[in-house]
């Protein structure tokens, strides 16, 4: 069954709407990077990159690439006026020390307590790798997760407990998927937005833990729908 769903860009735009003007923001590798491209023109957002950049700008024009100015995903970026460079230890002071207002991270699983699993699966074939996720997850003032609602083979990623190794416990504030926007609160998962044409039962079926619904659930309308 095909369900209505947001595109990756629409998902990123929905995240971007929740980022207040003037925020210091760190975007994780992968889909979260898209959020940087869809910030509304009226907002001044300062992007942080773990490798020592504050005021990171968009990708450079072809031919103007400097491989000593890259983001956490190792892609070339630029610096905006007012930006600055610093070393890794100072950069992680910002991340772990509560100075980043918002981080947007990908995830394998999120539990209804806000536990985050986004660094290791149970695949023993790959060597483990962690990067900066653990520092960001414990340190950012607000941790937003941007991910697909289920795994490619349809298993739920929102769960009563994470089965994959934890990145950090009780840190996620809000989850954005192609189907819904879900808060993580004392009472577990609370749906705030849902994609048009999806029933509450459909959404629950794709979710591994019980959902409650906000008094007014906003409707997300995909461009295609």
Partner 1 sequence: MIDKRVASLAEAVQGLADGSTVLVGGFGAAGVPVELVHAVLDQGARDLTIVTNNAGSGETDVAALIREGRVRKIICSYPRSMGSIWFEEFYRAGTIELELVPQGTLSERMRAAGAGLGGFFTPAGADSLLARGKEVRMIGGRRHVFEEPLGGDVALVKALRGDRWGNLVYNKAARNFGPTMATAATLTVVQVREFVELGDLDPESVVTPGIFVDRVVQVEEEA
Min dist. Cβ of residue 151 to partner 1 (A): 20
By C-beta, is 34 or 94 nearer to partner 1?
Answer: 94
Min dist. Cβ of residue 217 to partner 1 (A): 31
By C-beta, is 48 or 206 nearer to partner 1?
Answer: 48
Min dist. Cβ of residue 5 to partner 1 (A): 29
User: Active-site residue among 10, 50, 112, 178?
Assistant: 50
Annotation says 216 is catalytic: no
By C-beta, is 59 or 169 nearer to partner 1?
Answer: 169
Min dist. Cβ of residue 125 to partner 1 (A): 8
By C-beta, is 26 or 177 nearer to partner 1?
Answer: 26
3-state secondary structure the chain: CCCCCCCHHHHHHHHHHCCCCCCEEEECCCHHHHHHHCCCCCCCCEEEECCCEEEEECCCCCCCCCCCCECCCCCECEEEEEEEECCHHHHHHHHHCCCCCEEEECCCEEECCCCEECCCCCCCCCCCCCCCHHHHHHHCCEEEEECCCECCCCCECEECCCCCCCCECCCEEEEECCCEEEEEECCEEEEEEEECCCCHHHHHHCCCCCEEEEEEEEEECCCCC
Q: Which residues bind partner 1 (CB under 8 A)?
A: 21-22, 24, 44, 46, 48-55, 66-70, 74, 79, 81-89, 92-100, 115, 119-120, 126-135, 138-139, 165-169
Active site residues: 50
């Amino acid at each position: 069954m095909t369900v209505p769903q947001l595109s990756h860009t629409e998902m990123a735009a929905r995240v971007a709407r929740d980022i207040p003007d003037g925020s210091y923001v760190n975007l994780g590798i992968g889909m979260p990077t898209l959020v940087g491209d869809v910030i509304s023109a009226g907002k001044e957002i300062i992007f942080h990159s773990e490798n020592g950049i504050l005021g990171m700008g968009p990708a450079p024009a072809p031919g103007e690439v400097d491989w000593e100015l890259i983001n956490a995903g190792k892609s070339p970026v630029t610096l905006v006026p007012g930006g600055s460079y610093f070393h890794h230890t100072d950069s992680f002071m910002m991340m772990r020390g509560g100075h980043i207002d918002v981080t947007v991270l990908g995830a394998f699983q999120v539990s209804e307590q806000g536990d985050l699993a986004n660094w290791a699966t149970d695949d023993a074939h790959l060597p483990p790798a962690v990067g900066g996720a653990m520092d960001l997850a414990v340190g950012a003032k607000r941790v937003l997760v941007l991910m697909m609602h289920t795994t490619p083979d349809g298993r739920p990623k929102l769960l009563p407990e994470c089965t994959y190794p934890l990145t950090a416990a009780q840190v996620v504030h809000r989850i954005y998927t192609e189907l819904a926007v879900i808060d993580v609160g004392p009472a577990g998962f609370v749906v705030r937005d849902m994609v048009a044409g999806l029933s509450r039962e459909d959404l629950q079926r794709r979710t591994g833990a019980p959902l409650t619904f906000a008094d007014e659930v906003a409707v997300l309308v995909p461009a295609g729908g």
